Chain A
Amino acid sequence: MGNLKQRFSGVWAWLDERLDLAAVRKIAEKKEVPVHRHTIWYYLGGMTLFLYLIQIATGILLLFYYRPSAEDAYESVQFLMSEVHFGWLFRSIHAWSANLMIFTAFLHLFSVLLLRSYRQPREISWISGVLLLGLAMAFGFTGYLLPWNELAYFATRVGTQIMEAVPFIGAYMATVLRGGDDVSGATLTRFYAIHVAVLPMLTTFLLGLHLFLVQKLGMSVPLDVEREGGAKAGMKFVPNFLLRDLVGWLTALAILAALAAYFPAHLGAKADPFAPAPAGIKPEWYFMFMFQTLKYLPAHILWLEGEVVGILGFMLAGVLLLIWPFIERGSGRGEPSRVFTWIVVGMIVYIIVVTYLGYAAEPMA
């Protein structure tokens, strides 16, 4: 035993000399998490990160068997699901973890919004976070098509058609994204490239920035706690908070395993571009509120097409969300305005209600 310990410290010393591990250790030891009634929300970022790591791991595994072409994609996934040992497990976990990741990312976003943690000096953390959520949704959109099954094919067709409605550049953007005028084999290879190369690269960069800033600026103490005199206590990040994080991650892992075993990812029928669209095509749930909103809009609003107005509206909302810390400056000065709280609550209620309506609505609608 002593021998082992000795060898370990030898390695440590060798590495320390070259990498300055002591500094890292000092940072880890110094890092503290404020403890107050909102501490629970601090776990969401870590949870999203954990699910992203699961995505990377299972995604790499799926790459071993997946073949990105219109002729082979469906068959390779079918092979993966039925012949490859545990293929069903990794594909199901990949699918479920993607959904959970976007869900926790949304929760993370709204908790930060409500606790006003984006306020000065964390504007860049906020912007990188919103962009990361956008990337996560792009991951979802591109990944959905890859099995090349019927539902995915038609959902992608509808999705890219909606994009065409964007004035001036929409048609061009949709053509570039699809690699043609319609969803085809060319679209599949493009989405594949985006899904496994472009998006991971962007995410790595933004995630690095996001985590660096969390490290540099520390955890934000919510405004109301700060006004009551700040957090009463702190918790060491290592090991106290990290161990709690671990408990959360393990729970997530157990949930993922259960979901994969009880509700494995389905494959359905192979996409047939010439078949009529099946009834009740629905986008992934995180696009549902937008999709459904577009349906509710009248054909024409003033002189513009309803759909165009809707898309421009969502784009504007996205931009406003991105620069939110610069609009809502009151909390930066310590004077939070109730109005913004109600706006956020309104957003949450809107998303929940419209998403529900999207699923409750008749498939014919």
Chain B
Amino acid sequence: MDTRTYRLLLGLAAATLLWPRLGQAQEEASSCVGCHAALSDDLLSAPVSELERDVHSDFGCVGCHGGDAQEFSMLAMDPARGYVGIPEPREVESLCGRCHSDAEFMKRFDPAFRVDQVTEYRTSVHGSRLASVNDQRVATCVGCHPAHSIKPPSDPSSSVHPLNVAETCGQCHADPDYMSPYAIPTDQHDRYMESIHWHMLSEEGDLSAPTCNDCHGNHGAAPPGVSWVGNVCGQCHMVMGELFAESFHSEIFTMLGRPGCATCHDNHRTVAAGDELLGLGEGAACAMCHTESSAGGAVASSMRSLIDSLTARYEAADSILAEAENVGLEVSEAQFGLGDARTALVSARTAVHSFSLEAVKEEVDAGLEVTAVAYASGEGALGEFLIRRLGLAISVALILALIAGLVLKIRKIEQA
């Protein structure tokens, strides 16, 4: 006898004992609630209070469990009255799918609601293992949407709210004991926590930043295959994705079995990409394959130095303009112009994903031109300082003349 059956029997026994008192609560709408609320076993009583906040609360217990809520005896749970009890993992998808795959039914609640979750689920690793080897440990619908407390993803307390998804998946995937039969890593959750994506999501409040399901699919959860990693990242990082797809690296990476974007940017621990990733220096991704002597290494180094030169010129122009502004010189026009250099710098960094030195050089050159103009006007503005100094020299000369006059005057008065 497994625990579940045991508990069920225990609960039934308790319910029978309590029967006379419950019999008085005839006006209770649901006999399920009437009995279960009074049960001492949490497993059997908790669903009563949980369901109140569930998005499905209107359907009542019988919506999923069947049975007869009007019957105030144990006959309420008679399979003849449609009672299904606790569905087996294999039964869950069709149970939920009864409504959720029914477009006619679903659009009564939300015309935009999708009805392909079950179809997707069957394509997921979870669903296919359940179907093929009857793996009872995989996530079914209720693994991620806990039965009795299902809330829409927009609800911050929902298990599938963007901020909670990583935790929800991590319940199993970050548990080495639970995952031990599958021989897959369990550090994804922790590594994701260090990523720029999680930072954007949790610190910057950008709920559009990706969490687990955005790359792996939610209902069709599966690891993206090596060849289509770019498609996944390219959902948001479109330009990079396109440039990379057209570059020769795309093909070579596929041949080598390297996972596209993740080769340089990591998959779960995708940290903010900085210029240090480029070139052959410390922390450079290119250096994983290329060496100084190779042609590719030379290109990587050249790209890096191009971008570094633009960064340096940009910063120099920015700081000379800030300096000029700080002393009260009018440089807003030049600062405004420098905005284009920033655009060029960002574009050059983007162009790196084409792995074409020409493309990077084009952007950098455009940026250098702008920074040169801005820097020159910064210098010109600081040159106005000279005019101030001329004014100062004249005033000081006048003051000195006056002082000399006064000194002579004093001498004269005191000689007299």
Contact = CB atoms under 8 A, between A and B. Distances in A.
- A and B: partners? yes
A243 B330 contact: no
Contacts of A266: 326-327
Interface in B280-337: 325-332
Interface in B24-56: none
B410 A244 contact: yes
Interface string B393-405: 0011001101100
Nearest to B381: A82
Interface in A250-280: 250-251, 253-254, 257-258, 261-262, 264, 266-268
Interface in B362-416: 385, 388-389, 391-392, 395-396, 399-400, 402-403, 406-407, 409-410, 413-414
Contact of A250 (B331, B389, B403, B414): B403
A83 interface: yes
Contacts of A264: 326-328
Interface in B324-362: 325-332
Contacts of A240: 410, 413-414
A123 B53 CA distance: 79
A258 B392 contact: yes
Contacts of A243: 406, 409-410, 413
Contacts of B409: 239, 243
Given A240-B414, A247-B406, A261-B392, A253 B399 contact: yes
B312 to A, nearest CB: 23
Contacts of A268: 326
Interface string A81-119: 111000110011000000000000000000000000000
Given A82-B332, A266-B326, A257 B402 contact: no
Interface residues of B, number: 25
A246 interface: yes
A47 B400 CA distance: 18
Given A239-B413, A243-B409, A266-B326, A250 B402 contact: yes
Nearest to B324: A82
Contact of A257 (B331, B395, B403): B395
A132 to B, nearest CB: 27
A91 B327 CA distance: 11
B330 A82 contact: yes
B331 to A, nearest CB: 8
A87 B328 contact: yes
Contacts of B400: 254
Contacts of A92: 328
Interface of A: 81-83, 87-88, 91-92, 239-240, 243-244, 246-247, 250-251, 253-254, 257-258, 261-262, 264, 266-268
Interface of B: 325-332, 385, 388-389, 391-392, 395-396, 399-400, 402-403, 406-407, 409-410, 413-414
Given A88-B328, A247-B403, 14 more contacts: A82-B325, A82-B328, A92-B328, A240-B410, A246-B406, A247-B410, A250-B399, A250-B403, A251-B399, A253-B399, A254-B400, A257-B399, A258-B396, A266-B326
